[in-house]
């Protein structure tokens, strides 16, 4: 009886530890999302001070990454999770790497916002950049929702929509090239807008990775290099 | 006696499994390295056919990534590794993500080589790109050596040298901007060279990540967001 109670107690603690990891990941996702939002806002509203804040707040995300990493390693070592739990924990370890790198890209957006706020701007650039930013924000929201609710359908949807982000990125590139050719003096500024677009496109890629991890977490099926491509081809 | 033999047998099998994972990671590193080398060669020698080959061989790296991932998850589930082994296995899971993404960047180099081989080229670009490429190749070689030998000193050295790659990247950017401003017709081509440089710079970043993982694997000390920065600051 005592043993059984101990077992129960341990298992409750274990559940609690899993729940803690889960909520930390969700908190990290929320932090990353607000960094991306603030980075975009700083960009399109030429808010250098906000850009500066975004560029220097990355450490909060990094701290959470290290904490979650430690918690995951500890739970594997001490609790020897069963197959499905183990899959979740290993996938969390991978997911937070992508979250952390989205944070890095947000930091870049912040830094670029500071630089761009200091120069005159061509409103045309920013309209398209804002558009791309909205798509990427939607993808991030979708990826984080899919992660929180372990929603495979949503994850698949968001992962497939990454193509649209890529197309929008290409369109913006073409527009920037035209600007630069028409007015070579605009080149340095255009390139900065280009780096912003590149950062946004990479955020889209990371969202896709996270969605693929969600599918793996739930289904135990690795779609990274196989079925996702097939589903894309089937479209 | 029988149990002890069984124990020995199991432990030998376990050692064998760890060794298998290790050799697969080294093989994956070798593949990634040869892809980067071939991508660079295709670029600087305007070899479209080689570029095409690089752009379509990524699947080999991806297959290995999935295999290693599976082997790692299996070993954690079945063998319940002790703390230090577990650290190695979890770090392998992270390392191969970076290796796979270096493969993605090599694929990009291949695709860009195909595009650039089809147009006239300004030799000046390629000299600097080659230079940057050599630095990045050296970083990759160093990171893989550090990983194979679990050499912490080498890992620290390579991680700190990433700054030089970044500086070279910045210098190339400035040169490309000058070219573009002097001759706007060179803009589309310059941008392609710029994407090549960007891919190389990102490979450098991934090498740095791998080196940080090597330090963690050996020392159990997470330098990603802390000590590495301090050592950089101390320089």
Encode pLDDT of B114-149 as tens digits.
998 887 666 666 788 899 999 999 999 999 999 999
CB–CB of A210/A99 below 8 Å?
yes
Predicted confidence band of residue B202 (pLDDT cuts 50, 70, 90) = very high
B-chain CB neighbours of A184 within 8 Å are 180-181, 184
Predicted confidence band of residue B226 (pLDDT cuts 50, 70, 90) = low
Q: Which residue of A has its CA nearest to B65?
A: A225
Highest mean pLDDT among A7-11, A62-66, A79-83, A126-130: A62-66
The per-residue DSSP string of B104-169 comes to HHHHHHHHHHHHHHTS---HHHHHHHHHHHHHHHHHHHHHHHHHHHT-HHHHHHHHHHHHHHHHHH
Q: Which residue of A has its CA nearest to B195?
A: A198
Chain A nearest-CA distance from B215, in A, is 15
Q: Note the ipTM here.
A: 0.73
Range of the domain at A227: 2-234
> What local confidence, expressed as pLDDT, does residue B81 receive?
86
> What local confidence, expressed as pLDDT, does residue B229 receive?
46
What is the H or E stretch that residue A213 is in?
helix A187-219
Structure tokens at B101: 């993404």
Q: Which residue of B has its CA nearest to A72?
A: B90
Q: Name the nearest CA neighbour of A51 among A197, A196, A194, A203.
A: A196
Sign of CA dihedral B38, B43, B45, B46: positive
Give which of A181, A210, A229 to mutate to test B binding, by max B Cβ within 10 Å. A181
Give yes or no for residue A153 having a pLDDT over 60.
Answer: yes
Encode pLDDT of A75-89 as tens digits.
988 888 888 888 889
A83/B contact by beta carbon, under 8 A: yes
Which has more confidence, B200 or A45?
A: B200
CA pair distance A202, A217, nearest whole angstrom: 23
Give yes or no for residue B203 having a pLDDT over 80.
Answer: yes
Predicted confidence band of residue A113 (pLDDT cuts 50, 70, 90) = very high
CB nearest A77 (choices: B69, B83, B97)? B83
A84/B contact by beta carbon, under 8 A: no
For chain B, the domain total comes to: 1
Encode pLDDT of A178-223 as tens digits.
888 999 888 888 888 999 999 999 999 999 999 999 998 888 766 6
CB–CB of A199/A109 below 8 Å?
yes
Neighbour count for residue B144 (Cβ, 10 Å): 22
How does the average pLDDT of chain B come out, rounded? 87
First CA to last CA across chain A, in angstroms?
57
CB–CB of A143/A207 below 8 Å?
yes
Q: Which residue of A has its CA nearest to B225?
A: A62
Q: What are phi and psi of B110, to 5 degrees?
A: -60, -50
> What local confidence, expressed as pLDDT, does residue A83 receive?
81
Predicted confidence band of residue A227 (pLDDT cuts 50, 70, 90) = very low
> What local confidence, expressed as pLDDT, does residue A42 receive?
93
Chain A nearest-CA distance from B62, in A, is 6
> What local confidence, expressed as pLDDT, does residue B233 receive?
38
Q: How many CB pairs under 8 A join A and B?
A: 75
Q: What are phi and psi of B81, to 5 degrees?
A: -60, 150
Give yes or no for residue B220 having a pLDDT over 90.
Answer: no
Q: What is the CATH number of the domain that holds A23?
A: 1.20.58.220
């Amino acid at each position: 009886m005592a043993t059984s109670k101990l077992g129960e107690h341990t298992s409750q603690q274990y559940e609690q530890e899993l729940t803690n990891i889960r909520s930390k990941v969700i908190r990290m996702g929320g932090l990353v999302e607000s960094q991306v939002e603030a980075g975009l806002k700083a960009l399109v509203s030429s808010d250098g001070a906000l850009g500066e804040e975004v560029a220097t707040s990355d450490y909060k995300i990094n701290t959470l990454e290290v904490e979650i990493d430690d918690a995951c390693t500890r739970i594997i070592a001490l609790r020897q999770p069963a197959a499905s739990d183990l899959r979740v924990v290993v996938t969390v370890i991978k997911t937070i790497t992508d979250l952390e790198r989205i944070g890095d890209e947000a930091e870049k957006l912040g830094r670029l916002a500071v630089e761009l706020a200091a120069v005159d701007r061509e409103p045309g650039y920013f309209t398209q950049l804002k558009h791309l930013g909205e798509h990427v924000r939607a993808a991030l929201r979708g990826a984080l929702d899919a992660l929180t609710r372990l929603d495979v359908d949503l994850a698949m949807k968001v992962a497939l929509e990454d193509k649209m982000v890529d197309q929008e990125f290409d369109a913006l590139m073409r527009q920037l090239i035209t600007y630069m050719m028409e007015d070579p003096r605009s080149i340095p500024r255009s390139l900065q807008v280009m780096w912003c677009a590149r950062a946004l496109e990479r955020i889209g890629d990371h969202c896709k990775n996270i969605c693929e991890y969600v599918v793996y977490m739930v289904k135990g099926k690795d779609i990274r290099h196989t079925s996702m491509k097939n589903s894309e081809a089937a479209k």
